[in-house]
């Protein structure tokens, strides 16, 4: 093989399906070394399948989902991106976890089912990728932490926003280059459309999703924790169900999820963070602002529902007289970016396989997943009570020693 730029992801592009395998040179990909079973084939499970097949080092061995239409979609994905490969379809969760033909399990089921699925999956000893949020209650999240301490295989939490290009670059600038000096404040904003439809509409009810600030916002709280480099101590939030699903009922129950919120988080080291959420906006817009004692970083991503197009992502650093300022447009190749979350899921999958093969990654650990859920649960409670929530007291109430929780890695 020469030193040309390789583009093996294009091998799965239907546009190039006419090429015989013997004529794949730039498109050549190695034979998959791993096989994963996917539990739950909704939107997230389908995305997990797609990026696994595109990344190439692993393939999809089989799926388990009680919804027949989900299984049909899984077969369609395999037919398009892995033609000729047989897809196993399991009748039970236990069979999907136990099959020796797979060395990894991807869990992409509804949030409230994660704990029971993980209890079954860990019996296999296989490598596990557990979608976010890892749990909907502190008790379940803490049980998962204890599981991870006893688990010798990879157990990764699917907080893929840390792999989005703008956030990858923001981490590099803020934490590795220290372009901003010491970070003092963190601001994240998300304005987007409402929650999409799900099988059983579980994401419209807090008892199944954990609430909007757990289900949707754990990604951002993970970024808070990453940039703050400390544990949260206090959360104060306000929010409401102002527009979305106010008249929505399913199986005789009324939807109770928030569609807007403001969340303030205080950290042990004095860093302060705030989050602004609106889920009835005609776009998908995210913004991050970091202010340090030597500069300011702003990064944003955008998907608009209008005909005109502008830059989808941008990161700017204003350093005043301290050092050069700059503006950049971080992006992955378009084919990868289109696979979901601006390519974040693709590189999260790559990190999962890297970890399986013994390489160090920046993927979220179970401990990091736990702390993202802690902030979300505290914020949901603060909205309900109108009072700030002290994290140590919240942990003690759940039977968790705050000192022990702070020490987990």
**Which residue reads 């999703």 in tokens?**
209
pLDDT band for position 1 (cuts 50, 70, 90): very low
pLDDT digits (tens, 9 = 90+) for 239-253: 999 999 999 999 999
Alpha-carbon distance of 406 to 392, in angstroms, equals 10
8 A C-beta contact, residue 300 and residue 331: no
Task: Report domain 162-407's class.
Answer: alpha beta
pTM for the structure as a whole: 0.94
Q: CA-to-CA distance for 335 and 352, rounded, in angstroms?
A: 20
pLDDT digits (tens, 9 = 90+) for 162-198: 999 999 999 999 999 999 999 999 999 999 999 999 9
Residues 194/277, Cβ–Cβ less than 8 Å: no
Give residue limits of the domains in the chain.
8-159, 162-407
Rounded distance between C-alpha atoms, residue 355 and residue 264, angstroms: 34
CATH code matching the domain that covers 8-159, chosen among 3.30.300.340, 3.40.50.880, 3.40.50.720, 3.40.50.300: 3.40.50.720
Taking only the tens place, the pLDDT of each residue in 90-106 is 999 999 999 999 999 99
Rg over CA atoms, the chain: 21
Q: What residues contact 354, with CB distance under 8 A and at least 6 apart?
A: 360, 361
Query: What is the rounded distance in angstroms from the CA atom of residue 52 to the CA atom of residue 351?
Result: 11
Length reported for the chain: 409
pLDDT higher than 70, residue 344: yes
DSSP reduced 3-state for 69? helix
**pLDDT tens per residue, range 186-236:** 999 999 999 999 999 999 999 999 999 999 999 999 999 999 999 999 999
């Amino acid at each position: 093989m020469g030193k040309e730029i390789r583009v093996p992801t294009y091998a799965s592009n239907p546009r190039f399906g006419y090429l015989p395998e013997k004529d794949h040179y730039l498109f050549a990909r190695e034979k998959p070394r791993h096989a994963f079973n996917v539990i739950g084939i909704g939107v997230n499970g389908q995305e997990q399948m797609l990026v696994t097949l595109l990344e190439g080092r692993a393939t999809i061995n089989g799926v388990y989902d009680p919804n027949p239409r989900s299984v049909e979609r899984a077969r369609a994905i395999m037919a398009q991106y892995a033609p000729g490969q047989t897809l196993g379809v399991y009748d039970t969760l236990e069979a999907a976890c136990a099959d020796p033909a797979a060395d990894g399990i991807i869990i992409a089921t509804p949030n409230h089912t994660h704990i029971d699925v993980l209890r079954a999956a860990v019996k296999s000893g296989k490598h596990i990728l557990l979608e976010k949020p890892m749990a909907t209650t502190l008790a379940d999240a803490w049980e998962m932490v204890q599981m991870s301490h006893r688990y010798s295989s990879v157990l990764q939490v699917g907080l893929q926003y840390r792999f989005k290009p703008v956030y990858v670059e923001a981490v590099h600038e803020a934490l590795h280059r220290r372009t901003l000096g010491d970070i003092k404040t963190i601001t994240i904003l998300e304005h987007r459309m409402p929650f999409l439809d799900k099988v059983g509409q579980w994401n419209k009810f807090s008892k199944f999703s954990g609430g909007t600030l757990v289900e949707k916002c754990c990604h951002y709280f993970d970024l808070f924790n990453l940039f703050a480099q400390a544990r949260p101590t206090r959360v104060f939030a306000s929010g409401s169900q102002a527009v979305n699903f106010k008249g929505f009922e399913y199986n005789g129950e009324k939807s109770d999820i928030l569609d807007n919120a403001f969340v303030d988080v205080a950290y042990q080291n004095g860093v302060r963070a705030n989050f602004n959420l609106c889920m009835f906006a005609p776009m998908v817009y995210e913004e991050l602002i970091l202010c340090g004692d030597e500069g300011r970083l702003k990064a944003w991503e955008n998907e608009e529902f209008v005909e005109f197009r502008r830059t989808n992502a941008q990161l700017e650093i204003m350093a005043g007289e301290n050092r050069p300022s700059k503006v950049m447009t971080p992006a992955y190749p378009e084919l990868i970016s289109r696979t979901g979350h601006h390519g974040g899921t693709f590189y999260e999958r790559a990190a999962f396989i890297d970890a399986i093969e013994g390489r160090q990654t920046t993927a979220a650990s179970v401990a990091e997943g736990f702390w993202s859920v802690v902030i979300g649960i505290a914020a949901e409670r603060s909205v309900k009570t109108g009072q700030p929530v002290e994290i140590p007291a919240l942990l003690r109430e759940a039977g968790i020693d705050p000192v022990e929780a702070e020490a987990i890695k």
